[in-house]
Amino acid sequence: MAFEGLSSKLQEITRKLRGKARITESDLKEMLREVKLAMLEADVNYKIVKDFIASVQEKALGQDVLKSLTPGQQVIKIVKDELIELLGGEESKINFTPNPPTVIMLVGLQGSRKNYYSRKTCKLT
């Protein structure tokens, strides 16, 4: 749910930045405001959001757009790279037990759709 809100906000920003050859400071400020709001709505700690936004701003401000990317895609690439870094930077695998079931604990705030994801991804019997 948290990433769905962020994803929709990034898609909206991409539409606004379409056709521009360079990311301006005002474009970046508007985009980062939307990302900040989406992360805060997802109950991400304010200090983490503040550091994340500062890091993205530092990397994105004044960057020339890559030849194959639009400004919106460039900003989203920077945000994606920073999110990956924030979440640990490397892929981790679940170690399944040789004799089922493998127990996986879902942790989250009340209302964060833990039950929805457990039913969607696990075969319940």
* 25-80 pLDDT tens trace: 787 788 888 888 888 887 788 999 999 999 888 887 756 555 556 777 777 788 88
The SS3 call for residue 77 is: helix
pLDDT value at 17 more than 80 = no
At residue 50, the pLDDT reads 93
* 77-110 pLDDT tens trace: 888 888 888 878 887 788 888 988 888 777 776 6
pLDDT band at 123 (very low <50, low <70, confident <90, very high): low
Q: What CA–CA distance (Å, rounded) separates 26 from 31?
A: 9
Cβ-count burial 60-70 (b if 16+ within 10 Å, e if not): beeeebeeeeb
Q: Which CATH superfamily is domain 2-86 in?
A: SRP54, nucleotide-binding domain (1.20.120.140)
Say if CB 93 and CB 104 are below 8 A apart.
no
The number of beta carbons lying within 10 Å of the beta carbon of residue 18 is: 11
Q: What CA–CA distance (Å, rounded) separates 49 from 36?
A: 6
